[in-house]
Amino acid sequence: GHGPPAQKGHAERLDGGCRRPRGFGARSEGAPGGAQRTFRRPSGRPAPNTEVRPPRGQPDPGGRRAPSVPRRDGRCARPRPLTRWRGSGFRRRSRSPPRPAPGAWKPRLVLEKLRLRRQEISEAAEVVNRVVDYLSRRLQSYESEFRGVSLLRTGSYYEHVKISAPNEFDIMFKLEVPRIQLEEYCKTGAYYFVKFKRNPKGNPLSQFLEDEKLSASKMLSKFRKIIKEEIKNIQDIIMEKKKRGSPAITLLIRKPKEISVDIILALESKSSWPASTQEGLPISHWLGTKVKTNLRRQPFYLVPKHAKEGNYFQEETWRLSFSHIEKDLLKSHGQSKTCCESDGVKCCRKDCLKLMKYLLEQLKTKFGNRKELDKFCSYHVKTAFFHVCTQDPQDSQWQAKDLELCFDNCVTYFLHCLKKEQLNHYFIPEFNLFSRDQIDKISKEFLLQQIEYERNNGFPVFHEF
């Protein structure tokens, strides 16, 4: 292999200058064609002829002198290494990192573009909050089953990682329910039927019971009816048609700008978390066992999400939700308690998540006329990101200066999950979000190919829309 010439053997002269390094000869003037004599290393082995240093004071093939760098004590320091450049001549070997190839992406510029959206998102959030606060007050004033509802402020906007166009918001209303008993559906670990351990007289939710099970479809239908009546009192807002299999009630705010708001009803349970979560939330080496214990003492939530049965949906099931815990993980994401605070060291965890979410969003926009990416959502990206945080728990592994490397690690992990068709739910390890029941193999292969193309070409999709 080619290597730099030997740099050993510099001898000091009495006049303070530098003698030529031992082992270097002079140009052979009699050699045919102006060839150079091979310089010898001190060991006697020929030096690689890819890097040749002419004697001090004599011009090199490019017409320059070999550099001798003066030191403060008047002596000459060891000459800087020279590197062969294309064509004739030499140049100093650069100590700075190589310039990015043409078209190479710059993550900070992408993040700056996303940061500029924040003002637009904040303005939209003000409009949404006015509508949601009004609905919350009205629901609490009702003499109905939903009088006890309150707002659960979770989701990307409240996690400060919202990057999508500011026209889509998710809002969750929580309703505390008395002691409940969960019956797991088809060993999924994620979907359950809900029963009451005791059903005292006067329980306002009794009307939604069907075979002693709390009917998700009945309860959601009544909640939807109340919301529909209330928005009649608000100008420029309508309710979209119900989407098959979706737990959300979608409102469309038409002025001043068109904004879509998904309202989700969630049951709050203060019981112990289900057994399927026992091995989940693997944060002991990342945030510590004490934090994990405290988080598991918080309530868990159930949303009326229909489980899929082949080509059909089971309409009476509820799915576990831990969006409030996810919010806490993103808020206190460092091993150091001061990570990313005003007096602490900044890391790049949230920036990596934003870039991952933006990558998927841009690809979904680019291929909006195809169905392969329909079933992928930001929750898949967030789940993969949490697994990388578990895999790389140290703050030193997420230094701000290493943003590009850390983002590449996240992309690599996500690609691995797509290849293996395995992305375990962060709280319910037995529930595979990338199983073929959830997403078909063709769709996963399509997304895999698109992300690999983006990575190999400097992520051009970041600048396409």
For residue range 96-139, list pLDDT tens digits in order. Answer: 334 345 446 789 999 888 876 677 777 788 888 888 888 988 88
pLDDT at 157: 61
* Confidence label for 234 from pLDDT (cuts 50, 70 and 90): confident
How does residue 154 score in pLDDT terms, banded at 50, 70 and 90? low
Residue range(s) occupied by CATH 1.10.1410.40 in the chain: 333-465
Comparing C-alpha atoms, which of 381, 180, 188 is closest to residue 277? 188
In the predicted structure, residue 11 carries a pLDDT above the cut 50: no
End-to-end alpha carbon distance in the chain? 46
Residues spanned by CATH 3.30.460.90 within the chain? 104-270+302-323
Q: Which CATH architecture has domain 104-270+302-323?
A: 2-Layer Sandwich (3.30)
Place of tokens 């190999």: 456
pLDDT at 417 over 90: yes
Unique residue bearing structure tokens 């990338």: 434
| 119 against 225, higher pLDDT | 225
Q: How confident is the model at residue 160 (pLDDT cuts 50, 70, 90)?
A: low
**What distances in angstroms separate CA 239 from CA 155, 253, 424, one per listed residue?**
21, 9, 34
Tell me which residue of 299, 359, 361, 357 sits closest to 328, measured CA to CA.
299
pLDDT of residue 140: 82
Mean pLDDT over 414-426 rounds to 98
Residue 307 tokens read as 């489980």
- Determine contact, residues 37/27, Cβ cutoff 8 Å: yes
Report percent pLDDT > 70 for the chain: 73
Output DSSP code: residue 423.
-
Instruction: Please give the biggest Cα pair distance in the chain.
Output: 113
Rounded-to-integer distance, Cα 214 and Cα 315, Å? 11
> Average pLDDT over the chain, rounded to whole?
79
The three-state secondary structure class of 429 is coil
Residues 366 and 465 sit within 8 Å (Cβ to Cβ): yes
> What gap in Å lies between CA 419 and CA 17, rounded to an integer?
63
Closest CA to 273 of 292, 290, 286: 292
Ranked by mean pLDDT, which of 61-75, 88-102, 248-262 comes out on top?
Answer: 248-262
CA within 13 Å, CB half, 25: 12
Q: What amino acid is encoded at 410 in this protein?
A: C
Residue 321, H or E segment: strand 318-321
All residues at 6 or more sequence positions from 431 whose CB lies less than 8 Å from its CB, including other chains: 188, 189, 190, 276, 424, 425
Return the structure tokens found at 109.
Answer: 């510029």
What pLDDT score does 284 carry?
95
Write the CATH number of the domain with boundaries 333-465: 1.10.1410.40
Exposed, middle or buried, 315 (CB in 10 Å: 0-12/13-18/19+)? Answer: middle
Q: Rounded to whole angstroms, how far apart are CA atoms 449 and 451? A: 6
pTM: 0.74
